[in-house]
Structure 1
Amino acid sequence: MPIQDATETYLPKTSESQPPGRKNPWVRVVVYLVLAAAVGLIVWRVYQNKQKTAANTANQAAALLGRPVPVQVVPAEQKPMPIYLTGLGTVTPYYSVTVKARVNGELLPVKFTEGQEVKKGDTIMVIDPRPYQAALDQAKGSLAHDQALLRNAQAEFNRYKALFAAGVVSKETLDANEAQLGQYQGAIQSDNAAVETAQLQLDWCYIKAPINGKIGLRLVDPGNIISANSTGLVIINQLKPIAVYFTLPESQLPQVLHRLASDKRMAVDAFDRSDTQRLTSGSLLTADNQIDTTTGTGKLKAVFDNKDSILFPNQFVNVHLIMENRPDALVVPSAAIQTGLNGSLFVWVINDDGKGGQVSQMQPVKVALAEGQNTILDSGPAPGAKVVIDGADRLRPGQPVTVAAAHQHQNQAGQTTGQPPASGTGRPANPGRKGQNPSSTSRQQ
């Protein structure tokens, strides 16, 4: 028993010691407080940084708002403006003739230079005329022979007629001489027809221009044997005047036909492929007598003098069929029209601020219609007012601006239109974005 007592003496009593894993609760509280303070400090720092950033942004925005915005402007104009319908057209010769030979034979050297202007009746080609000249001479010889026989038969008939009157010859003899005279008269008529035919064949050897026009490239070289009415020799196109065929939707045809019936003449302008430069002016000739059911369009024909040869066959043009002319239309570039949040239309107008500077103001407008790059207004800025066509996306009412005149583009029609610096094809752009400060884009009604 002494060993057991010693063991009990040195072993600690488990019931009186602290449970494993338990710590002082104040340490935990202190740790939590330190963590909360650190998180709060971080949040405070982030909040202060955001406040500073917002303040800097606000200061920069305020500085930018006070800085003048560069814009380009053009004046609103009050001028005559045509109201027109547009269509796609193709230039076509007024007359086009494929020249063919009417007789057989060898083609001699041509009498023209390819591409030259010819007049009606000019000799342009010759087929070897010698066989036809010989045939004509033969026909004339037969005619002369029969004419001599006719004169002899006429003299004999006159003698037998006198003898019959004297009772020397019988009636039967007189009738026989009269019949012979009639045969020779018939032979003379046949000979005259043969001479005319031979002369016509000879004339056809000299191929003449059937119309005034411009001659094309020859299709057959000299030295070839030509067959009558089978081989095209050259094509002649009449280009002065020249025609343009174009189409319009069937919904627009009634007003065109009504106007054509009353006025008998409607002005037509031909523009280039980009529809920005007027090439020439002409008049509407007529409309087709039916509508194309596959496209729902009607075909119309316009005629142009084309004295300067600016139109050429198969050229693509944009046709402006003028329906009306407004003498005092209020006109602004289509690029100046902006769209507000509620769909209202307005333009930015530049006014003096009274301090030697210029500021922007919104001007509501009422659009009548858009014609190409120009828009006609029923109401809007006064004539001469400067409207913004570039730089409108950064404007607000009262915004200071610096003004630069827009690049002016003048087409052959005499219409001057303002162009933004980066102009594309010259067509109006899509409507502006809805909002207080829409981008500087045009609106086509």
Structure 2
Amino acid sequence: MRILSIVLIILAFFGCHTKKPTAAAAPLPPLVEVSAAKVQTIPIFVPAFGHFVAYNSVEIKSQVEGALTQIHYTEGAMILEGEPVVTIDPRPYQAKLDLAVAERLQNVAQLNFAKEKVERYAGLVSDSYVSLLNFHEYQTQVASLTAEVEKNDSQIRLAEINLGYCYIRAPFSGLCGKKKVDIGNLITNNGDTLVTIKQLDPIYIDFSIPERDFFRLMQYQSTKDLTVNLHFPDYPDCDFIAELIVVNNEISSSTGMIPLRAIVKNPDRLFWPGQFIRTELILTKKPETVMVPISAMNSGQKGRYALVINDKGIAEMRMCEFGEILGDTIEVVSGISGGEKVVTNGQINVMPGKPVRIKGASQ
């Protein structure tokens, strides 16, 4: 009986000090990152990849045979138009020129004598002091020697041309490449290249765009000159603008691409032939365009949408039509106005019609 009384007392004690359960705390709204939709003018462009091509490029080759006696250029250095590049031993060609000049002098002397003979005997033919046959022979000799002098003139011109070929000069100002033949080597006119010269300012950019963009290209090019933005993948802050100058006269049937060519100034030689470049052919510019980060675009069963946070911090689902992509942003054709806040991160936890917490905003 005593034990029962003690148990009842202990139970009554703990029963009086047991806390009542409290109600569970309401869950916090999901935390999201937002960005304001911006209204701006955007370029409408066709992206492509291309490479630089020298404005002028020449492989210096010999047109005569002989020993290479002098190299006037410096590898990797600039050479101006008209400056000597190399010299091939001119002595054999100078001798041929001298020989042609001497033969002409000989033939001119004989021609003058033949002309005097014709003039002297012309008055004697009628008196039969000189036969008509002999007089015709004198006249024929004059004509023959006249032809020989003209032939000598041609030989002299040819010899002068070949002698000039011994002194090879730069056809334009440009940058010399690596030396391919050393002094003392026998040069033949079989097409071997002595050195390459390339003009780098200005410089071309060759690239191609898909056939599907052909009509848009023609449409915009008919109204204005088009430009090309140049981007280096490894140097995103280095952007340059080139001018489109050539649309090739056919579309490649094997690739379905249209070869294009642009030109850009290159005074500091930042661009090099063969160098890879990313291009954007600017067709036009579109003003008053609503742009949002690409991360704000979502896809659902009804189509693409974005989550917009209104002034009360409530999430709204907006079905949107998206358009052009520019970098990490995308055009909103309809569904969102400039200045509205769109969710860019944390969409998975957001329920339309429910409040959210905006990261970085005072709650």
Q: Deviations over 1:154-206 (max 9, x none)?
A: 22221112333565433223212111111211110111111111111110011
Which structure exhibits the higher relative contact order, with contacts defined as CA atoms closer than 8 Å and separated by 6 or more residues? Answer: 2
Residue 258 of structure 2 aligns with an amino acid whose one-letter code is K
Alignment correspondent of 1:209: 170
1:144 is the counterpart of 2:105? yes
C-alpha separation between the residues in 1 aligned to 2:233 and 2:44?
20
Contact 1:87 1:248 in 2 (8 A): yes
2:257 aligns with one of 298, 312, 330 = 298
Alignment pair present for 1:401 and 2:362? no
The residue identity in structure 2 corresponding to 1:372 is G
Relative distance call for 1:171 and 1:225 in structure 2 (3 A) is same
Q: TM-score, normalized by length of structure 2?
A: 0.79
TM-superposition CA deviations, 1:322-344 (whole Å, max 9, x none): 22321222222323334456433
Runs (4+) off by over 6 Å: none
Distance 1:388 1:274, change over 3 A: farther
| CA distance in structure 1 between the partners assigned to 2:32 and 2:283 by the alignment | 40
Summarize the Cα distance change of 1:321–1:220 in structure 2 as closer, same or farther, 3 Å threshold. same
Contact 2:45 2:282 in 1 (8 A): yes
Distance 2:194 2:304 in 1: 65
Matched, 1:111 2:72: yes
In the alignment, the residues of structure 2 paired with residue 276 and residue 307 of structure 1 have an alpha-carbon distance, to the nearest angstrom, of: 18
Tell whether 2:229 aligns with 1:266. Answer: no
Q: Report the Cα distance in structure 2 between the residues aligned to 1:168 and 1:242, rounded to whole angstroms.
A: 79
Matched, 1:158 2:119: yes
Residues 153 and 71 of structure 1: CA distance in aligned 2, closer, same or farther (over 3 Å): same
Which amino acid in structure 2 is aligned with residue 367 of structure 1? F
Show structure 1 runs of 5+ residues with no match.
1-51, 354-358, 405-445
Whole-angstrom distance in 1 between the partners of 2:147 and 2:140: 11
Is 1:241 equivalent to 2:198 in the alignment?
no
Partner of residue 288 from structure 2, selected from 302, 322, 328: 328
Using the size of structure 1 for normalisation, the TM-score is 0.66
CA contact (8 A) 1:82 1:324 kept: yes
Given the superposition, is the C-alpha separation of residues 400 and 379 from structure 1 closer, same or farther in structure 2, using an over 3 Å criterion? same
* 3-state SS in 1 of match to 2:104: helix
1:380 shift after superposition: 4.6
- CA distance change for structure 1 residues 336 and 70 in 2, over 3 Å: closer, same or farther? closer
- Superposition RMSD in Å: 3.2
Whichever structure has more strand as a proportion of its residues is 2
**Aligned equivalents of 1:139, 1:265: Cα separation in 2:** 57
Q: What are the ranges of 5 or more consecutive residues in structure 2 without an aligned counterpart?
A: 1-20
Paired residue secondary structure (1:252): helix
Greater shift in the superposed pair: 336-345 or 97-106: 336-345
Equivalent residue, structure 1, for 2:217: 256
Inter-CA distance 306–283: structure 2 relative to 1 (3 Å threshold): same
Identity of aligned residues (%): 26
1:132 aligns with 2:93: yes
Distance across 2 between alignment mates of 1:216 and 1:76: 52
Does 1:337 pair with 2:297? yes
Maintained 8 Å contact 1:368/1:377: yes
Q: For each residue in 1:407-438, what CA deviation from the matched residue of structure 2 results, as whole angstroms up to 9, or x when unmatched?
A: xxxxxxxxxxxxxxxxxxxxxxxxxxxxxxxx
Task: Give the number of aligned pairs.
Answer: 336
Q: Deviations over 1:380-431 (max 9, x none)?
A: 5443455554565666653233449xxxxxxxxxxxxxxxxxxxxxxxxxxx
